[in-house]
């Protein structure tokens, strides 16, 4: 059986240098994985090739189901319910996987080594440092909050990225109501304490505003009747609309709903600084500045690279990028054995126009110097696989097919012949690169990338035996695998009051109570274990029956 087999392998490795035995059993290739978030967890869950030895390094020994973090901030779901210990995931695998609770502080690609610092609280020993060798390195460390260097943000704001953050917010929200209820305060002071400000109208900021509003309406009115009318929620957004990445219908619905509920949505409002008492903003239109007293601020405006990634990008000549650039096989540009995925990485999609001569040559099977419609058609699948923008282009320009493209490129000459020369081929595809878009920094992308990469590692051997594989454009030595392709499954924006907006593929938009039920069932089904699924569902039921727990 697989498990015993690989214990035997490990023993053989241990006797390395002993001569004969170590030559019979090849040494396991060592894969080092940095990070236990969405990308890392998904890689581990999907990896099932026992010929690897995997070492996971992460400062966090658990995975967090981030889409439910906003639910933790006001006590709808307990923090513990959305965390899954990484060792629970590892133990179920038939692959040799170990874990070290530490953060990687430096990557040395020349010597195939990483340097780490243990993050375990070690009062007496000081910091533990160690190095790890790798054959393959997988960088999945995610990103960090971005303050855009706004003064006072680090010192005075809450963030919502980790479980600790959500717990701190929850405690702070409840404490605010207790504090505002103390007898010694003036009305002015109570109002200040109960002014909650959210900076950033993206999905996280909007969901927190909705959670807070629900909390006030459902629980605070009963538990803190004296101060309930002093609560104010302000949402500051620098652009013209909240939920920019969603369909207009969803944006409008959310803005109107918040307006009716008294959540003060200030659009075109840039935060210029925050001190202990006041938050200062500047209006984008007229440049008017103002300062407002606040009790609590949540900063939720986007993400930037971690120091480790910034440093590594500098080292390998990727300069001032916002994320590590990889090719479509998720390999860091210039390295065969380093992969990166999730929020810390971005795929450097190849442009059709850069490779046009090569594409033409491959498609022109009879070397005639021109392409027939048939030749073009026959290579279209390969082109679309390597350059997904072509497929998008054909889809977006509804009902466009190759014949249309050819006719358009040739103009009047199409009457005489439908064959394309290289210039006409260029003209036919001249606009496709405008369809290229970076993938969003979402759990959905990270999750799919982790599964894709695990599958590449699962099939590595099989592919090495058959290195030719299916023919692909610009094989770049990695043509044995299909490039990564993202499948967008849609996204949700919970808006409070048991209403959710859902935007599903094909521009299908649904807003209201039925989408809320869809949200409950999707998020229950996406849980990484039956344990967290049971916990989350029972938290939801508990809240329906007994309301939120407000011990802070
Ligand atoms: P992460 O999940 O952030 O994981 C990074 C991992 O790397 C962590 O384990 C971290 O501890 C570890 N790490 C950090 N530094 C180091 C180091 N130096 N060395 C080793 N390890 C390190 N996406 C959706 O698709 N849908 C949603 O509804 C949604 N809601 C969200 C709500 C909130 C509040 C937040 C914060 C995010 C949400 N996202 C959502 C986005 C989603 O969580 C991220 O896109 C996703 O977590 C990215 O996965 P990742 O593995 O790249 O990074
Ligand atoms: Mg990760
Ligand atoms: Mg995560
Ligand atoms: Mg990314
Ligand atoms: Mg030809």
**What pLDDT sits at residue 123?**
58
Residue 347 CA to ligand 3 center (angstroms) comes to 20
Closest atom, ligand 1, to C-alpha of 143: 3
ipTM of the complex: 0.97
d(C-alpha 497, C-alpha 211), whole Å: 9
Contacts 24+ apart (CB under 8 A), 359-366: 359/383, 359/473, 360/422, 360/425, 362/473
pLDDT higher than 50, residue 277: yes
What stretch of H or E contains 88?
helix 86-91
pLDDT higher than 80, residue 56: yes
> Residue 347 CA: which ligand is closest?
4
**Which residues surround the ion ligand 5 when the cut-off is CB under 5 Å?**
364, 366, 368
The residue with greater pLDDT, 2 or 338, is 338
**What pLDDT sits at residue 239?**
96
Q: Give the confidence band of 192 by pLDDT, cuts at 50, 70, 90.
A: very high
**What pLDDT sits at residue 549?**
86
Listed range (140-149, 227-236, 463-472) with the worst mean pLDDT: 463-472
> Residue 306 CA: which ligand is closest?
1
pLDDT higher than 80, residue 427: yes
The residue among 511, 541, 501 whose CA lies nearest residue 524 is: 541
- The first and second tokens of residue 283, run together, are 């209006």
**Residue 295 burial (CB count, 10 A):** 22
Residue whose tokens read 């350059």 = 387
Atom 3 of ligand 1, nearest CA residue: 142
- % of the chain with per-residue pLDDT over 90: 70
d(C-alpha 228, C-alpha 236), whole Å: 22
Burial environment of residue 113 by CB neighbours within 10 A (0 to 12, 13 to 18, 19 or more):
middle
> Residue 425 CA: which ligand is closest?
5
Sheet of strand 491-496, all strands in order from the earlier edge strand to the far edge: 491-496, 499-504, 508-512
d(C-alpha 464, C-alpha 444), whole Å: 30
**What pLDDT sits at residue 3?**
41
Provide CB contacts within 8 A for 552, sequence distance 6+. Answer: 170, 171, 173, 174, 175, 178
The 10s digit of each residue's pLDDT in 301-316 is 999 999 999 999 999 9
Burial environment of residue 122 by CB neighbours within 10 A (0 to 12, 13 to 18, 19 or more):
exposed
**What pLDDT sits at residue 122?**
56
Most ligand 1 atoms within 8 A of CB, residue of 67, 103, 119, 166 to mutate: 67
Q: Give the confidence band of 461 by pLDDT, cuts at 50, 70, 90.
A: confident
Mean pLDDT of 472-487: 63
Contact indicator for 242, 198 with CB cutoff of 8 Å: no
- % of the chain with per-residue pLDDT over 70: 90
**What pLDDT sits at residue 285?**
87
**What pLDDT sits at residue 125?**
61
d(C-alpha 522, C-alpha 240), whole Å: 31
Residue 35 CA to ligand 2 center (angstroms) comes to 4
**What pLDDT sits at residue 6?**
42
pLDDT higher than 80, residue 475: no
Closest atom, ligand 1, to C-alpha of 42: 51
Q: Which residues line ligand 1 (CB under 6 A)?
A: 34-40, 57-60, 66-67, 69-70, 103-104, 140-142, 160-161, 204, 306, 308, 342-344, 441-444, 446
> Residue 67 CA: which ligand is closest?
1
**What pLDDT sits at residue 385?**
81
Q: Which residues pair with 291 in a beta bridge?
A: 280
Listed range (13-22, 73-82, 423-432) with the worst mean pLDDT: 13-22
pLDDT higher than 50, residue 171: yes
**What pLDDT sits at residue 389?**
85
Atom 53 of ligand 1, nearest CA residue: 142
Residue 35 CA to ligand 1 center (angstroms) comes to 9
Mean pLDDT of 417-439: 88
pLDDT higher than 70, residue 463: no
Sign of CA dihedral 365, 370, 375, 380: positive
**What pLDDT sits at residue 7?**
40
Provide CB contacts within 8 A for 476, sequence distance 6+. Answer: 327, 329
**What pLDDT sits at residue 121?**
65
Closest atom, ligand 1, to C-alpha of 341: 52
Mean pLDDT of 472-476: 43
pLDDT higher than 90, residue 5: no
The 10s digit of each residue's pLDDT in 352-401 is 999 999 999 988 988 999 999 888 888 888 888 888 888 888 877 655 78
Q: For residue 50, what is the DSSP state?
A: T
The overall average pLDDT reported for the chain is 89
**Residue 541 burial (CB count, 10 A):** 10
Atom 2 of ligand 1, nearest CA residue: 37
d(C-alpha 28, C-alpha 36), whole Å: 22
The 10s digit of each residue's pLDDT in 338-354 is 999 999 999 998 899 99
d(C-alpha 311, C-alpha 184), whole Å: 51
Contact indicator for 519, 511 with CB cutoff of 8 Å: no
**What pLDDT sits at residue 113?**
98
């Amino acid at each position: 059986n697989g498990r015993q087999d690989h214990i035997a392998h490990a023993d053989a490795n241990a006797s390395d240098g002993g001569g004969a035995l170590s030559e019979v059993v090849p040494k396991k290739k060592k894969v080092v994985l940095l990070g236990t978030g969405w990308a890392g967890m998904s890689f581990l869950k999907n990896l099932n090739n026992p010929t690897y030895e995997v070492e996971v390094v992460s400062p966090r020994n658990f995975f967090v189901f981030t889409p439910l973090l906003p639910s933790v901030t006001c006590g709808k779901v307990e923090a513990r319910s959305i965390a899954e210990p990484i060792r629970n995931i590892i133990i179920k695998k038939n692959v040799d996987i170990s874990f070290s609770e530490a953060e990687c502080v430096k990557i040395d690609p020349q010597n195939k080594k990483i340097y780490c610092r243990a993050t375990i609280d070690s009062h007496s020993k000081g910091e533990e440092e160690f190095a790890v060798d790798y054959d393959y390195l997988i960088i999945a460390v995610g990103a960090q909050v971005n303050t855009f260097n706004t003064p006072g943000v680090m010192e005075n704001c809450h963030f919502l990225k980790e479980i600790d953050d959500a717990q701190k917010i929850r405690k702070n929200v409840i404490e605010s109501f207790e504090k505002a209820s103390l007898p010694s305060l003036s009305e002015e002071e109570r109002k200040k304490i109960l002014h909650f400000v959210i900076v950033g109208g993206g999905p996280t900021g909007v969901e927190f505003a909705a959670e807070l509003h629900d909390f006030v309406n459902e629980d605070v009115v009963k538990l803190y009747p004296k101060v309930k009318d002093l609560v104010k929620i302000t949402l500051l957004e620098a652009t013209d609309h909240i939920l920019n990445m969603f369909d207009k219908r969803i944006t409008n619905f959310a803005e109107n709903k918040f307006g009716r509920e008294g959540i003060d949505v200030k659009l075109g409002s840039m935060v210029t600084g925050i001190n202990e008492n006041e938050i200062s903003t500047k209006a984008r239109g007229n440049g008017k500045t103002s300062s407002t007293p606040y009790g609590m601020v949540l900063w939720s405006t986007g993400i930037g690279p971690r120091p480790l990634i910034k440093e590594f990008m500098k080292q390998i000549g990727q300069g001032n990028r916002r994320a590590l650039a990889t090719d479509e096989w998720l390999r860091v540009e210039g390295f065969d054995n380093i992969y990166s995925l999730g929020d810390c990485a971005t795929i450097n999609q190849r442009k059709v126009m850069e490779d046009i001569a090569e594409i033409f040559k491959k498609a022109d099977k009879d070397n005639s110097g021109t392409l027939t419609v048939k030749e073009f058609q026959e290579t279209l699948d390969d082109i679309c696989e390597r350059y997904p923008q072509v497929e998008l282009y054909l889809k977006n320009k509804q009902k466009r097919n190759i014949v249309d493209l050819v006719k358009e490129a040739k103009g009047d000459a199409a009457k005489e012949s439908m064959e394309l020369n290289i210039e006409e081929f260029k003209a036919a595809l001249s606009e496709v690169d405008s369809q290229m878009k970076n993938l969003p920094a979402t759990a959905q992308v990270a999750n799919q990338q982790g599964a894709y990469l695990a599958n590449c590692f699962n099939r590595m051997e099989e592919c090495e035996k058959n290195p030719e594989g299916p023919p692909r454009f610009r094989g770049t030595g990695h043509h044995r695998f299909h490039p990564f392709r993202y499948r967008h499954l849609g996204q949700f924006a919970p808006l409070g009051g048991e209403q959710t907006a859902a935007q599903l593929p094909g521009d299908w938009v649904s807003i209201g109570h039925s989408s809320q039920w869809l949200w409950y069932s999707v998020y229950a089904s996406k849980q990484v274990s039956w344990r967290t699924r049971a916990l989350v569902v029972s938290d939801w039921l508990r809240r329906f029956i007994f309301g939120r727990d407000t011990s802070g």
